[in-house]
């Protein structure tokens, strides 16, 4: 299971084509989320990097091929306004924490990959320790040992967008993804 922050702004996602794909999926049409979406576009860097990082886990071309053991969702189940980054707080992310916990308890994933510091902190607070606090990705990841929730391993990773990747450093990001248990 991969838990991201939020869905991008719907008006921009509409222009990229993802909203049309989601509508088709909701209508029962078999279509990939990224069909006809340019992953080389600047506002697709997060998605492009996720595709690349999943290849490190042996899941190739997740933008073109479905894997029955992958489930993607976001910590915030709504859409963000206007732009792709900024103003997403832990308080906002925690609004849907009960629903995320229910989803995790139903699916019982073997692994949870949390994208970014704030998403990771909210998930850990929701599942393990309500008072958990951390302000640096490197401190959160530590030696790379996963957090555990029952039989589920939780792997915080740097957000795969521009800022998360550049702050953590590409080599560290790759090492973090390679540590994830298969």
SS3 content of the chain, % helix, strand, coil (to 5): 45, 10, 45
- Contact between 9 and 84 under an 8 Å Cβ cutoff? The reply is yes
Domains in the chain and their CATH numbers?
2-178 (3.40.470)
Per-residue model confidence as pLDDT tens digits over 67-83: 999 998 988 876 556 55
Per-residue model confidence as pLDDT tens digits over 97-155: 999 999 999 999 999 999 999 999 999 999 999 999 999 999 999 999 999 999 999 99
């Amino acid at each position: 299971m991969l838990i991201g922050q939020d869905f991008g702004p719907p008006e921009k996602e509409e222009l990229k084509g993802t909203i049309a794909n989601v509508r088709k999926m909701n209508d029962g049409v078999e279509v990939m989320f990224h069909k006809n979406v340019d992953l080389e576009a600047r506002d697709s860097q997060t998605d492009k990097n996720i595709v690349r990082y999943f290849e490190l886990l042996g899941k190739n071309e997740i933008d073109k091929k479905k894997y029955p053991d992958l489930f993607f969702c976001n910590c915030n189940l709504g859409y963000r306004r206007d732009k792709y980054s900024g103003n997403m707080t832990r308080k906002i992310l925690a609004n849907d924490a009960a629903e995320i916990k229910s989803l995790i308890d139903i699916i019982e994933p073997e692994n949870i990959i949390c994208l970014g510091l704030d998403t990771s902190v909210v998930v850990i607070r929701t599942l393990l320790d309500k008072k958990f606090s951390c302000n640096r990705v490197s401190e959160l990841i530590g030696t790379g040992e996963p957090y555990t929730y029952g039989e589920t391993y939780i792997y915080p990773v740097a957000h795969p967008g521009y800022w998360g990747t550049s702050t953590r450093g590409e080599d560290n990001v790759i090492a973090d993804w390679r540590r994830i248990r298969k």
